[in-house]
Each structure stands twice: as C-alpha cells, then as structure tokens.
Structure 1
Amino acid sequence: MGGDGMLNIAIVEDDPQAAGLLTAYLDRYAQERGTSCNSVIFNDAVDFLTGYKASFDLVFMDIELPGLDGMEAARRLREVDRSVVLIFVTNMANFAVKGYEVDALDFIVKPVAYFPFSIKLDRAVKRLESRQERELLVPAEDGVVCLKCSEVTYIEVMQHRITYHTREKSYTGYGSLKKIEPLLPEKVFAKCNSCYVVNLRYVRQVKDFSVLVGKDWLAISHARRKPFLSALNEYIGSME
C-alpha cells in the first residue's frame, strides 16, 4: 500500500464483463471504506508477467485463462514476488485447494457477489496493513542504501560486521544486533542462532538443525531451535 493508503491492484481476467464487475466492486469498496484503489486490467497472464515489477499490493487472478492458466501464472509470479497478496477468481471451487501451493490468500467463485468480495478484500487489506514497511539504512559501496525490511532474507553477524542478505545482493557494514533488532518488524524476524536473524517470510524448509532461507541453508542452534520453530509457526498462522 502506498503512503497515502492507495491500493494498487492487478486484475488478470480475459472476460471483459467479469473484469468490469471487479472494477465496479473496487470503486464501491473504496467509497464505502473511505480509501482509494488503482486497478490495472490484464487480458492474459503472459501480458501480466512480461516485465513484471513488484508494484502491486493485490492480484485478482482468474484461473481459466487462455494460453497460460492462472495457476501456472501464480507459480511464476511467486518466483519473482512472494509478498503480493493473491486472490483467485474462478468458476471451479475445486481448484481453490491448489491455491495454498502458491500462498493464495483466498478465492472467489463466479459469479462474484459484492458482499463476499468485500469481506475477502477486507482480509487482504488487513494482511497488507500488518506488513507495513519498515526500512533500514545499510552500508553500500557508494554510501548508504535505504533497504525495505521485506527485502532482507536474513541478517548475518560475524564479530562486529553485519551483512544484510537480499535475493539480489548483500550489504556489509559494522554494527551490533542490539541496535538492529529493535528496528525489525515484530514476529517477522527470528534468530536461529547467535549469528543469524531470519526473515520468516523466506523460510522454505526446516530439517533437523538447519533451515533453508531462500537458497541458503543456515544452522539452527540447540538453544534456539524451540523458540525459532515457535516463531515460525506463529508467523505461518498469522498469514492464514
């Protein structure tokens, strides 16, 4: 969500009438809730994914799309954007179960009625508000970079050096965890040992005393294993 509270929404729908109905519902919702919505309609998934930039807060994805179907499009979307809220719009309720594979928040069955639509949109807004961005000033080669906490996969501490790892690159400087931890969103980051603070959003797998964060396996200490798993379970529960 933008600083002004505007919702940026993508509607991936090949049926002009269905897309128009969703747009009308968004206008009604914005008027009733005293907010604003900016929506962009894509007629097919390929058009939506081509040159995709993580600028949307929410995506309404039709499952029955020509060419690349909505479920496969969602899988590809998650490869480049794991944080955007995803809601499926479908004629087939049985496909909704598969939505959990791509971290879909919910699904709406056609024909779409306004009341269930508004309830699900309320839920999406609640999730977005819980993710309000905090930013960190981190060192870079040419000075300082303002880095969103959601972009940090994990933080590594070795002696007095701190490395902020993201999916694209890493930034290293000097500091201490005591100063960094209060700046991190509560219940989103957790220590897996004395050297690593993990963004729970990027946890892919836990195996014995190791955790896969993005593409990196990190060690979980015996002392931190129970509180780390507890924090992870609480985070997963908050996303449901």
Structure 2
Amino acid sequence: MLRICICDDEKIQRNELKFIISTELQLRGIDFYIHEYEDGEALIASFSKDKNYFDIIFLDIEMDGINGVETARKIRNLNDKVVIIFVTGFVDYVFDGYEVRALNYILKPYKKEKIISVLSEALKQIDTISNRFFIVQFNSNSYKLCIDDIIYFISDKRKVKVITKEDSYEFYEKLDHIEKELPSFFVRIHQRYLVNLKFVLSIENNYVYINSEKFPVSRNRYQDVMIAFAKTMLG
C-alpha cells in the first residue's frame, strides 16, 4: 500500500490536492492511503513514532508554527528516503527545496497536470527504492522495516522473529517465503536462521559471528555461505 501524507494548514487546499491524487491513483489501480495534517508539529510527532510510515509527503511551506522547510529538515533527520514534495503559493520558496532534497514543488493555485506529473515522478522514485523495505504484519499492526537495518531472522516453529538495529518483531511466516523476498546479501545459513551478511564479522569453525552472537552454519550450506560472504565483502 502506498502511504501518502498531505500537510497544509488550509483544509480547502488539502481537499483539492487529495481529490486529484486519489483520482489519479485509482485510475492507475494503486492501493493507497492518504493521511492529512494541518501543521508541521503534528506531522513531526507522528513521523517520530514511525519514521518509515510514509512514502510521499506533500508539504506546504507557508504554515503557522513550524513552516514547511523546517518541518522537512526534521523529517530528513529521521528518514533520508521519504519523497518530499513542496506545495507553495510563492515561487520565491522554490529554491528552499534543495537543502532537504525535495523531489519537486507544486505552485498554488493547483494545476491538475502539474500534480499528476510530479506524482508520476514520485512513483518512479519509489519504485527504485521499494525493494529497500520489508513489511512485517502481525495481528492488526503493520511495520515497514528498512532492509539495511535488518540483522537476521530466526524461525521458531510457526513464528519468525526479525532482529533489527533498533528493535525486534515477531510475526507468522515461513522463512522460505521471506528468503525469496530479500536481496542476495541475505543468506540462509541454517534451517532456522537467515542473516544479513553485511553484519557478519567473521565465519569460523562452522559459526557465523554477528556482534557478540554466534549462529551455526549447516554443513550442507557452508560452502554457499562462504562464497556469498566473500562476494558481499568484495562489494
């Protein structure tokens, strides 16, 4: 699901932008959700709880309280991949987007063609980084994890636990299915373990060492693991 945020202190402007975006995404058959905020403070508070939740943020520059540029700075400190698009009624602010690597800007009053063009540009950029995330779903909760932050997966009967640099999550899935979704630097070293080779310090005596932990390597997987580890180290 594509998660979009519109942050603008004018409800009429939010509604107009939301309508155009929603109509275009429906025509493309894209599953999406749009969340609205009327000020930068609320967006930052929400973003701080889950820095990977939104894929695209449409951000008004002229807002009461924290303006759009300052809001974008704080967001960039939390996430350097989310697509930021500025919306503004003043062409003078256009160059402020370079500092926070805004993808583009949309001038008010809105022109449908411009919105669709910028949205298309954003979707292309998301396609190039979509494989950098892994979605964990458990009960009614959904978590979007950055693949580069995942250290390893461990299977325990019907459940799988994923360990990241910051946290851990449990969910129902088969390790075989997870392995197929991940890049080649994730390697199955054992029936129960799937590890990110970028975090492996060494492989010695049939064990993989990650930080202060060690994990057994199956005898029939050892050669493949060593080859994959060497390729990862060589870049």
Length-normalised TM-score, structure 1: 0.60
Quote the offset at 1:181 in angstroms.
8.5
Q: Does 1:40 align with 2:35?
A: yes
**Does structure 2 retain, via aligned residues, the 8 Å contact 1:85–1:104?**
yes
| 1:24 partner letter | F
3-state SS of the aligned residue for 1:89? Answer: strand
**Does structure 2 retain, via aligned residues, the 8 Å contact 1:139–1:171?**
no
| 1:145 partner letter | V
C-alpha distance after superposition, 1:81-123 (max 9, x if no partner):
2221110001222322221211211111111111110011011
Structure 1: gaps spanning 5 or more residues: 164-169, 183-190, 198-240
Q: Does 1:87 align with 2:136?
A: no
Q: Does 1:8 align with 2:3?
A: yes
Quote the offset at 1:79 in angstroms.
1.2
**Does structure 2 retain, via aligned residues, the 8 Å contact 1:157–1:177?**
no
| 1:179 partner letter | A
Quote the offset at 1:144 in angstroms.
4.7
**Does structure 1 retain, via aligned residues, the 8 Å contact 2:21–2:115?**
no
Question: Residues of 2 paired with 1:45 and 1:61: CA distance?
Answer: 9
**Does structure 1 retain, via aligned residues, the 8 Å contact 2:151–2:199?**
no
Q: Does 1:138 align with 2:152?
A: yes
Alpha-carbon distance change, 172 to 106 in structure 1, aligned in 2, over 3 angstroms: farther
| 2:39 partner letter | D
**Does structure 2 retain, via aligned residues, the 8 Å contact 1:61–1:87?**
yes
| 2:12 partner letter | Q
3-state SS of the aligned residue for 1:10? Answer: strand
**Does structure 2 retain, via aligned residues, the 8 Å contact 1:87–1:104?**
yes
| 1:34 partner letter | G
Aligned residues: 171
Q: Match of 2:198?
A: 155
Q: Match of 1:60?
A: 58
Range with bigger deviation, 26-35 or 16-25: 26-35
Structure 2: gaps spanning 5 or more residues: 135-149, 165-181, 184-196, 218-224
C-alpha distance after superposition, 1:2-53 (max 9, x if no partner):
3xxxx21110000111111011101211232122331111110001111422
Q: Match of 1:115?
A: 113
Task: Within 5 Å, give how 1:94-105 maps onto structure 2.
Answer: 94-105=92-103
Question: Residues of 1 paired with 2:56 and 2:30: CA distance?
Answer: 15
Quote the offset at 1:172 in angstroms.
5.5
3-state SS of the aligned residue for 1:35? Answer: coil
